[in-house]
Amino acid sequence: MASPITLDDVRLLVAKADALSHATEEQLDNLLRPDRRGIERVAHLATAAAEATAAALAAVDQLSAQGGQ
């Protein structure tokens, strides 16, 4: 059985998603002449940000199911 999720766990997941989103935005801003490598980096960051956001949302759902403990 998985350990119960805490509000601190959710905060960390949201912070990770936020950091990845900002890093993606910065990478996009820094692509003066988009090349394959730069585009791949941005794509990986965008995927990681989406996964982190999904994990945060799942944690919120789990916390809610636990009664908001």
pLDDT (0 to 100) of residue 31: 84
Dihedral of the alpha carbons of 60, 7, 3, 58, in degrees to the nearest 10:
20
What are the residue boundaries of the structural domains of the chain, listed by start?
A: 7-64
- This prediction's pTM: 0.77
Q: Given a cut of 70, is residue 69 above it in pLDDT?
A: no
pLDDT (0 to 100) of residue 13: 93
pLDDT, tens digit (0-9, with 9 covering 90-100), for 7-63: 899 999 999 999 999 999 998 888 878 789 889 999 999 999 999 999 999 999 998
Query: In a 3-state reduction of DSSP, which class is residue 37?
Result: helix
